[in-house]
Amino acid sequence: MTDWFRENARDLPWRDPGCSPWGILVSEVMLQQTPVVRVLPVWREWLERWPTPAHLAAEPSGAAVRHWGRLGYPRRALRLHAAATAIVAGHAGEVPATYDELLSLPGVGTYTAAAVAAFAFGRRETVVDTNIRRVHARLVGGTALPAPALTAAETRRAVALLPDDEALSVQWNAAVMELGAVVCTARAPLCDACPVIDACAWIAAGRPAPEYVPKGQSWAGTDRQVRGAIVAVLRHADSPVARPILLWAPVDLGIGVPVDVPHLAGHAGPLAALHGLQAPTEQLERALAGLLADGLAEETEAGLRLPG
């Protein structure tokens, strides 16, 4: 497995030996639920703009949201900014090296804490992400997919499989994750290219179908869609946007919002760009209230804007 990784690992900038722990932390948060190819350009811009936690912490959180671009789940940008602030305040500006310290940072959960401890500091940690879960489920468990949610049994299995040697454990975590990302994929696994196909319990069992159907997340007409549209406007606006304009006005009336915002182009305001809303006014107000409560937007006398 680790031999295969040495030969086939993708050349990703956060895997460069010279990459700082901060660079690795930023990459791990950006990669939460977002594909590598979309993270790459934003990660480069972030590290150039904010090479250390102190650089980011010195700016208002809205700058983090603005430069998050369209990676999705912009609250991650907010939490990364909060993590940078905590690192400056509580760790002398240096990303902490232990799992427990990392876990205490905003936006850092069990996966990210283990990943940063392992990949940035060479620690022996049990890293469990969606790729590793799927590889274990197939290779060892013989099922097409892991359980819908992480189980204690899965964690125990991952702990048992982790090599004792510290340096080897780091390579193991990276290798299993990479195998899941590029070979043992969710939909159409490339079993012909798999280095451990002869040991795969799922292959041995005849590649049985999944035992359940993953339930997809609804999207059209949800608050998430509305929130996304509102934040897209605020991200592109160069000055505060008055509430009624934000919610209702055409986007090309000189409020600083470019008309080339992809899903807003040619439409009249964020609401009109959305279809199938049950109660548009209520939903817009509710979505905006949610953004304000989450700190993704703030309201001034001049109007609404990203925090800062």
Partner DNA sequence: AATCCGTGGGA
Partner DNA sequence: TTCCCAAGGAT
Among 67, 75, 91, 243, binds DNA (CB under 7 A): 75
Site for DNA in 52-71 (CB under 7 A): 70-71
Decide if residue 169 touches DNA (CB under 7 A).
Answer: no
Q: Is 23 left (phi over 0), alpha (psi -120 to 50) or beta?
A: alpha
Q: What backbone phi and psi angles, to 5 degrees, belong to 55?
A: -65, -45
The binding track of 186-215 with respect to DNA, each residue x by CB under 7 A or -, is xxx------------------------xx-
Decide if residue 171 touches DNA (CB under 7 A).
Answer: no
The rounded distance, in Å, linking the Cα atoms of 242 and 104 is 37
Judge whether 55 and 43 are in contact, CB under 8 Å.
no
Among 106, 280, 295, 303, binds DNA (CB under 7 A): 106
Decide if residue 85 touches DNA (CB under 7 A).
Answer: no
Annotated catalytic residue within 7, 28, 45, 101 = 28
Total count of residues recorded for the chain: 308
| CA end-to-end span of the chain | 47
The rounded distance, in Å, linking the Cα atoms of 123 and 121 is 6
Indicate the residue among 206 and 216 with the shorter CB distance to DNA: 216
Angle at 10 between CA 157 and CA 134, to 5 degrees: 25
Site for DNA in 244-283 (CB under 7 A): 262-263
Judge whether 270 and 226 are in contact, CB under 8 Å.
yes
Decide if residue 121 touches DNA (CB under 7 A).
Answer: no
Name the strand (E) or helix (H) holding 258.
Answer: none
Active-site residue flag, 299: no
Catalytically active residues, by annotation? 28
Q: Which residues bind DNA (CB under 7 A)?
A: 12, 14-15, 27-28, 31-38, 70-75, 79, 106-113, 115, 129-131, 134, 149, 177-178, 180-181, 185-188, 213-214, 216-217, 219, 222-225, 227-229, 231-232, 262-263, 290, 296
